[in-house]
Amino acid sequence: MKISLGPIHYYWSKENVEQFYRSVEHWPVDIVYLGETVCAKRRALRNADWLDIAARLAGAGKSVVISTLALLEANSDLLQLEKICANAHYMVEANDMSAVHLLAGRSPFVVGPHINCYNSETLSLLAGLGATRWVPPVELPATTIAMLQNTRPEAMETEVFAYGHLPLSFSARCFTARADNVGKDECEQRCIGDPEGRALFTQEHERLFTINGIQLQSGIPCNLFNEMVPMSAMGIDIVRISPQFTATELVVRAFHAVLNGDYTSPEKGMPAVFCNGYWYGEAGMKCLSAEDD
Amino acid sequence: MDPVATAIFVGMANRVLAKRQPDLVRLEGRRVVIEVSDLGKSLYWMIRRGRIAPAPVGAVDLRIAGSAKDLCRLALRLDDPDTLFFARRLVLEGETSIGLHFKNILDSVDLDWFAPIRYLPAPLGPRIRQTIDRAIRITQADRRLHDILDRALQP
Amino acid sequence: MNDHKPELICPAGGLPALKAAVDNGADAVYVGFRDDTNARNFPGLNFGPDDTARGIEYAHRAGKKILLALNTYPQVHNWSVWTTAVDRAVELGIDAVIMADPGLLRYAASHHPGLRLHLSVQASATTYKALEFYHQRFGIRRAVLPRVLSLQQLWHTIANSPVEIEVFGYGSLCVMVEGRCALSSYITGRSPNASGVCSPAESVRWEETALGRESRLNGVLIDRHGLNEAAGYPTLCKGRYCTGTQPYYAVEEPTSLNILDILPDLFRHGIAAVKVEGRQRSPAYVASVARVLREALDTCASDPERYLVRSQWTAVLDRLSEGQTHTLGAYHRPWH
């Protein structure tokens, strides 16, 4: 199995993004997804900046994919999408059917986790349009993914969201701005102050979700570290690690060690509290293990 | 516990739900109490062999509470339960799914006052039915009856 | 741009609601089968084969249409349930099916070329490019848009869309992009996409406590309502949570969408249909909402320039609403 680094879900400053990817050049990851997938108002990096980062990573031997916005609203969002889809150098991860439409029949593409692909017929349809890799929606259980593996089209790679705060929903409304009691039009990209999102608790102080602009994520990270053996047996090709502001390198190295048969310090870098319920076909927030069955 | 009110409720409910036995079977054995809060009366009932039956006072799976007027409005389809629930005029405690299931069964009952006419031989039955339907539509009798009841049971 | 009258599309979770919709002015009624092929898969709700046939007969006799929602995402193990449902829809004479899954749309388009296809809101199509995709590949004739676009964005989408556009006009407000929300499954294991249900009833518990009415979903406290505070559905997006010390509606207040204020604009920009949410609601709700919206649409059609929202319409609708109040949602810029 290969390791990929998903797109950064949060809004980081240009310097932070560039610094992050400069270190990624030395990490044991095979594929790196770049670009803004959450909010079109986050413009710290322009297309040229992303392409510079892409070139450096490609030079370091990484396979680079440009990810597209999940929720498109304004016409300017579409124009930006058209530019990305027309780029001649890098593969594109489509996170909306608008992107699939623009890429279909033109160049091979990745079906991102925000495309609702729940069955073989849809997967084969997307393969026919040029998809060569797909990331199942985060709520799909292992049993369903396994069934899809049995019927997946030839040359279709499967990439599982294996680590990170799960992207659960998108809205027109900005929840970060709302938390600070300002309108979205006056947000001033304040989410840049929350490089790992903002924690949302129930009235009983339970960590429920993570606010990330117009997106809600799981309160605790999903972690399929302990599922790598069954994943490998199922023929999963790639595990995706979703970047956090801190400690992402430790997670990457832990996954890499286990993939290379090194079980000496498997817990190093892993969070104490995590969830994996979706993998077992249960509530996503649950934390289960194979022995629970 | 009010045996008379319970008996009336059980009798009426079974008449209305006569054709819904297969649906009710899925709620077999579940116990419910309806509390008429302003009258201080409680109706305990359960589903037994696909029918509504009186149940002894005791533990229940679902508790429904509301005023006599509001519960009448629900029974006469002048309000839907969600509306009363949002307005805090209806209380639902315990296994919510039983309440929802039962509500949906009640809502699916087609209260057809002219059902007997359907069994008259063709073309007599359909023709009488059409005439009555047309008369109701012209006079808007059904809507008027609805409005009269609605006014009488204003909260 | 033409001043035509949009169709009024009303929900029905059972035959009595369907009749109420037809009798009170719906041009079309949308229904679902009694299984997980639709996004209101609630116990005891929806239409069995007999009810569907009777409903279609009732609507067609009145010159109205029946639309069937098959708007969830089939999976490998239950794929045939959905295709069988499509076949049944054709046999029964359903006027159009509302679908979201690309694979299923392809099945319907290739096996039943005469069947009218509507794109469900669950397909999350928010741009005309996405609509072009579904139109070119499957020949969809109409699309229901998620409740996320501003009015300017909506007009732009309509102007460039290859298909008719239907929007939500009244009902409980989904603040997330429909079809892209897994909040429910994260807490309960069941979601609209995969199971046709949001906040499933079996996971909901209400408890009247000294602190007020507590709403819990799979044990997680969603909200506490004081004695006379209006409440809403126990969905995760309408609970009160904390980022600091004070709980607040972090996502959305319990409220319903109501577009009566912008009806003349919708007419002017050529909206094909206005949809009412609420297949889970009772016949009383369907009758009241249909009656108000019928009157509003007719009033607007007869003289859009002089159209004014009547306070009585708003009163009737607010009473039926979550939280007893309404919003224009994303159509109103400050809402964002």
Residue A172 maps to a domain: no
| Distance (Å, whole) CA C60 – CA C27 | 10
Q: How many whole angstroms separate alpha carbon B83 and alpha carbon C319? A: 7
Question: Which B residues, 70 through 109, put their C-beta within 8 Å of a C-beta on chain C?
Answer: 77-83, 85-88, 91-97, 99-105, 107-109
pLDDT at A194: 97
Q: In this predicted structure, which of B62-71, B104-113, C129-138, C327-336 has the lowest mean pLDDT? A: B104-113
Judge: A71–C104 Cβ closer than 8 Å, yes or no: no
Range of the domain at A22: 2-166+222-286
* Residues B144 and B79 both lie in one domain: no
Q: Residue A37 and residue A94: Cα distance in Å, rounded?
A: 10
- pLDDT > 70 in chain C, percent: 99
* Judgement on whether residues C74 and C121 belong to the same structural domain of the protein: yes
- Whether residue B65 is found in the same domain as residue B85: yes
Q: Same structural domain for residues B91 and B23? A: yes
Give the pLDDT confidence score for residue B1 in this predicted structure: 62
Instruction: Give the model's pLDDT for residue B136.
Output: 66
**Minimum Cα–Cα distance from C19: chain B residue:** B110
Confidence grade of residue A6 (pLDDT, cut at 50, 70, 90): very high
**Percent of chain A predicted with pLDDT > 90:** 92
pLDDT of residue C247: 95
Of the residues B107, B109, B133, the best mutation for testing chain C's interface (the one with the most C CB atoms within 10 Å of its CB) is: B107
Task: Identify the domain boundary among C224, C249, C274.
Answer: C249
Q: Would an 8 Å CB–CB cutoff place B33 in contact with chain C?
A: no
Are C163 and C84 within one domain? yes
CATH (domain of B87)? 3.30.1050.10
User: Do residue B28 and residue B74 come from a single domain?
Assistant: yes
A68 found inside a domain = yes
Mean pLDDT check: name the lowest of A202-206, B41-45, B118-122, C203-207: B118-122
CATH code (residue C19): 3.20.20.70
Mean pLDDT of A195-204: 97
Neighbours of B, requiring at least 3 CB pairs below 8 Å, are C
Q: pLDDT grade, residue C227 (50/70/90)? A: confident
- Domain membership of residue C178 (yes or no) is no
Residue numbers in B near C324 (CB within 8 A): 86-87
**C259 shares its domain with C286:** yes
**Are C133 and A166 in contact (CB < 8 Å)?**
no
> In whole angstroms, what is the distance from residue B117 CA to residue B132 CA?
10
Strands C164-172 and C273-276: parallel
Q: Which of C101, C186, C209 to mutate to test the interface with A (most CBs of A within 10 A)?
A: C186
**Mean pLDDT, range B12-28, rounded to an integer:** 87
Q: What is the tens place of the pLDDT at every residue in C238-269?
A: 999 999 989 999 999 888 999 999 999 999 99
- Residue B79: which of C14, C51, C284 has the nearest Cβ? C284
Q: By CB neighbour count within 10 A (0-12 exposed, 13-18 middle, 19+ buried), where does C3 fall?
A: exposed
> Is C2 part of any domain?
no
pTM as predicted: 0.93
Binding residues of A for [4Fe-4S] cluster: 39, 174, 187, 191
pLDDT at C43: 87
The answer to whether A237 and A1 are in contact (CB under 8 A) is yes
Does C52 share its domain with C121?
yes
CB contact C208 to B (< 8 Å)? yes
Neighbours of C295 (CB within 10 A): 15
Task: For C301-310, write each residue's pLDDT tens digit.
Answer: 999 999 999 9
| Annotated binding-site residue? C10 | no
C109: nearest Cα among A125, A154, A123: A125
**CA separation (Å) from A46 to A14, A80, A176, C158?**
9, 11, 23, 30
CB atoms within 10 A of CB C94: 23
Same domain, B65 and B86: yes
**What is the pLDDT, as a whole number, of residue C2?**
44
Which of residues A60 and B85 earns the better pLDDT score? A60
Same domain? C18 vs C101? yes
Q: Does residue C157 form part of some domain?
A: yes
Asked if A174 and C336 come within 8 Å (Cβ–Cβ), the reply is yes
Q: Which residues of C touch A74 (CB under 8 A)?
A: 153
Is residue C232 over pLDDT 90? Answer: no
Q: Do chains B and A touch by CB distance (3+ pairs < 8 Å)?
A: no
CB–CB contact B107 C43 (8 Å): no
Nearest partner of A208 among C197, C208, C219, C175, judged by Cα: C219
- Regarding whether B88 and B40 lie in a shared domain, the answer is yes
Neighbours of C125 (CB within 10 A): 30
What would the pLDDT profile of C269-280 be if each residue is shown by its tens digit? 999 999 999 999
State the pLDDT at residue C279. 94
Least confident of A154-168, B76-90, C282-296: B76-90
Residue at A199 is within a domain: no
In this complex, the chains that touch A, judged by 3 or more CB pairs closer than 8 A, are C
Average pLDDT in the C68-84 region? Answer: 96
- pLDDT recorded at residue A200: 98
Please name the member of B26, B93, B97 whose beta carbon is closest to the beta carbon of C201: B97
Q: Tell me: pLDDT of A86 over 80.
A: yes
Please check if C174 is assigned to a binding site: yes
pLDDT at B121 over 60: no
* pLDDT value of position B17: 87
Instruction: Report the relative pairing of strands A157-164 and A222-223 from DSSP bridges.
Output: antiparallel
Instruction: Pick the more confident residue, C60 or B108.
Output: C60
Written as six digits, the tokens of C116 are 């009218």
List the structure tokens of C156: 């732009």
What is the number of domains present in chain A? 1
The alpha carbon of A118 is separated from its chain's Cα centroid by a whole number of angstroms, namely: 17
What residue numbers bound the domain in which B47 lies? 3-108
Q: In this structure, is residue C71 part of a structural domain?
A: yes
Give the whole-angstrom CA distance, residue A254 versus residue A271: 11
Q: Do B51 and B76 share a structural domain?
A: yes
Pick from A98, A119, A170: which is nearest to C79 by CB?
A119
Give residue A42's pLDDT. Answer: 97
Both B50 and B24 in one domain: the answer is yes
Q: Does one domain contain both C293 and C145?
A: yes
Q: Is A113 a residue whose pLDDT tops 60?
A: yes
Q: What sign does the CA torsion over A76, A80, A83, A86 have?
A: negative
What's residue C1's pLDDT?
A: 40
Looking at chain C, which subunits does it touch, using at least 3 CB pairs closer than 8 Å as the criterion?
Answer: A, B
The per-residue pLDDT of chain B, averaged, comes to 82
Same domain membership, residue B91 and residue B26: yes
Start-end of H helices in chain A: 14-24, 47-59, 75-86, 97-103, 120-129, 142-151, 175-179, 228-233, 248-259
Nearest to B88 among C207, C228, C285 (CB): C228
* Total structural domains within chain B: 2
> Which of these three, C199, C222, C249, is where a domain ends?
C249
Q: Mark whether B26 and B69 lie in a shared domain.
A: yes
Among C38, C61, C206, the residue to mutate for chain B (most B Cβ within 10 A): C206
- For residue A194, the distance in angstroms to the closest alpha carbon of chain C comes to 12
* Least confident among A177-181, B133-137, C66-70: B133-137
C63 and C207, same domain (yes or no): no
Domain enclosing residue C197, as ranges? 183-249
Instruction: Give the pLDDT confidence of A87-104 residue by residue, as tens digits.
Output: 999 999 999 999 999 999
> Do B33 and B81 fall into the same domain?
yes
Dump pLDDT digits (tens) for A244-284. 999 999 999 999 999 998 877 767 778 889 999 999 999 99
CATH number of the domain residue A255 falls in:
3.20.20.70
Is C304 among the domain residues?
A: yes
Per-residue model confidence (pLDDT) at position B5: 80
Residue A173, token pair as written in the block: 């409304």
Identify whether residues C140 and C282 lie together within a single domain: yes
Above 60 in pLDDT, residue B117?
A: no
Residue B103 and residue B136 share a domain? no
Residue A149 lies in a domain: yes
Token pair of C135, please? Answer: 């139109």
Verify that C28 and C120 share a domain, yes or no. yes
pLDDT at position C158 over 90: yes
Per-residue pLDDT, averaged over A103-119, amounts to 97
Number of independent structural domains in chain C: 2
